[in-house]
Amino acid sequence: MKILVLSRGVVGREMASSGVRAYHMARVLAEQLPEAEVTLSVPNVPDISSPHPRLRITPYRNALAGFLQMLRHDVIISRNFPLHAVALLPGKLLVLDFYVAFYSEWLALSRRLPQRAPRKLWMASRRHFVDLQLTMADYLICSNERQRDLWLGALSGLGLVTSSVFDRDASLRRLVDIIPYGVRSGRPRRTGRVLKGVVPGIGDDDKVLIWNGSVMEWFDAPTVIRAMARVSRVRDDVKLFFLGTEHPDKVTGLRYGPLLQAIELSKELGLYGRSVFFNEGWVPYDETGDYLAEADLGVCAGFDDLEARFAFRTRFVDLFWAELPIVCTRGDELAARVEREPLGIAVRPEDPDAFAAGVLRLLDEGELYARCRSNVVAVKKELSWERVMAPLVEFCRTGRSIAAPKRQRVSALVRRTIAHAAMTAYYLTAYRLIGRREQAETL
């Protein structure tokens, strides 16, 4: 059995959730399937060594190189497949890693297109893209039960949950199963001081709240910053640190509105460089433990929207790894666990007062803080990469799919490939035409 994990995100010293997930999936497959040849294919020249002697890390520099790599493997695992992968369908097993409800994120990202027509066409192309990916998949994995319900509904709507598929497994677990984003083993090991007494404005004895990750359209950084304005009135020893700004996959950064708005708001409130701090660039993966080890609380805020309903906050798992209690907003499945178990405090979205009260309560009530931290340790064990990967390991070991036979999917694949390609072409044409018109009007 030859297994290819095709990463669509950068894998290396600096990598975000997509690359990290691919890296650990490939590692666990190599560890637990000694009879298999496992390759991790990445879109960059990797500057990181393989974590296992049976795991090979190699770049794909262009579409042809990626196609040839897929051609040489039996099982291909990816968060999405390029269009040319359709040609490989008859002889390969394609595992679709829809660990994010991507369509809901794309709805938020589409706001970057101010013109109505390109935005509408782009979202239409994304819908056809999802339909195509689901039709290609022989096995689909996602992060939680809410996502699983979403994808089962989508598969049913596309006619891919047939009576024969149902008869092979009425639970449909062998068609769509759950592999959450996993937690690294052990605990962060400090190799040096990086925050307290090092960052100007953060003292040796200060309490640090860490925003672990980027600032995207579906995250509500302004609520946390406004909460800090309230916290700083009663405690000047509490500091908020945003860990990442420039994303390795170039999906966010100082070019984009959400981060710029967060920085401007912190300046307007007189908090920038005093109570609120932004790390420049992106912390290398192996160095994030230094920052998390010095933090006292993890923080995250989102909105009451579609994205939150189906989200699995990947940034939470490193907070679990560091055994940090969390203050967050309600809405997603992990926030429900934070509130239920408890792993911290969850408050209603867009409520700076409630968020500030949650921060102060956790910092002031030592018994509650200790109980939350103890509960986080149990969750960390449950979500270890080695445990969560069990369904995928078993699928690769058996090499058996219950999906509708490939011959029954060919006509739908052809239709959906054409629809996606056509809609993408329409979008690109509309965007270029509108861009030229606007440029002409400014001359």
Asked whether the predicted pLDDT for residue 443 surpasses 60, the reply is: no
> Does this chain's domain 2-183+388-441 share its CATH topology with 207-383?
yes
CATH number for the 2-183+388-441 domain, one of 3.40.50, 2.20.28, 1.10.10, 3.30.70? 3.40.50
Residue 246 has pLDDT above 90, yes or no: no
Instruction: State the DSSP code for 177.
Output: E
Q: Is the pLDDT of residue 432 over 80?
A: no
Q: What is the pLDDT of residues 314-338, one digit of tens each?
A: 999 999 999 999 999 999 999 999 9
**C-alpha dihedral, 261 to 262 to 268 to 271, nearest 10°:** -170
Largest Cα–Cα separation, the chain:
67
Where is average pLDDT lowest: 183-187, 266-270, 352-356? Answer: 183-187
Residue with tokens 């996993």: 182
pLDDT number for residue 441: 33
Reported as half-sphere exposure (CB side, CA atoms, 13 A), residue 186 has a value of 5
Average pLDDT over residues 147-168: 97
Phi, psi of 31 (to 5 degrees): -70, -40
Q: Percentage of the chain with pLDDT > 70?
A: 97
Across residues 19-26, what is the average pLDDT? 97
On whether the CB atoms of residues 19 and 181 are closer than 8 A, the answer is no
Q: 326-329 and 297-300: which strand pairing?
A: parallel
Q: What average pLDDT does this structure show over 336-350? A: 97
The count of other CB atoms within 10 Å of the CB of residue 3 is 25
The position carrying tokens 């990598």 is: 15
- Whether the pLDDT of residue 149 is over 50: the answer is yes
pLDDT at 252 over 80: no
**Closest CA relative to residue 25, chosen from 10, 14, 40:** 40
The HSE-up count of residue 411 (CA atoms within 13 Å, CB side) is 2
Q: What backbone torsions phi and psi does residue 2 show, to the nearest 5 degrees? A: -110, 120
- DSSP tag of 350: T
CA 231 – CA 360 distance, rounded (Å): 7
Q: What is the CATH number of domain 207-383?
A: 3.40.50.2000
Element (H, E) at 28: helix 17-32
What are the tens digits of pLDDT across the range 277-296?
999 889 999 999 999 999 99
**CB count in 10 Å sphere of residue 75:** 23
3-state SS, residue 7: coil
Degrees (nearest 5) of the Cα angle 266, 267, 269?
Answer: 65
Q: Is the pLDDT of residue 438 over 60?
A: no
Structural domain boundaries in the chain: 2-183+388-441, 207-383
Confidence of residue 142 (pLDDT cuts 50, 70, 90): very high
Region 212-240: mean pLDDT is 96
Would you place residue 437 in the very low, low, confident or very high pLDDT band (cuts 50, 70, 90)? very low
| Host H or E run for residue 326 | strand 326-329
pLDDT computed for residue 206 by the predictor: 98
Nearest to 131, CA basis, from 413, 426, 407: 413
Q: What is the pLDDT of residue 253?
A: 65
Residue 266 corresponds to which tokens in the numbers above? 């912190």
Phi-psi region of 213 (alpha: psi -120 to 50; beta: other; left: phi over 0): left
With H, G, I as helix, E, B as strand and everything else as coil, classify residue 180.
Answer: coil
State pTM to two decimals: 0.93
* pLDDT of 83: 87
What is the rounded average pLDDT for all residues in the chain? 93
Whether the per-residue pLDDT at 196 is higher than 70: the answer is yes
94 — pLDDT class (breaks 50, 70, 90): very high
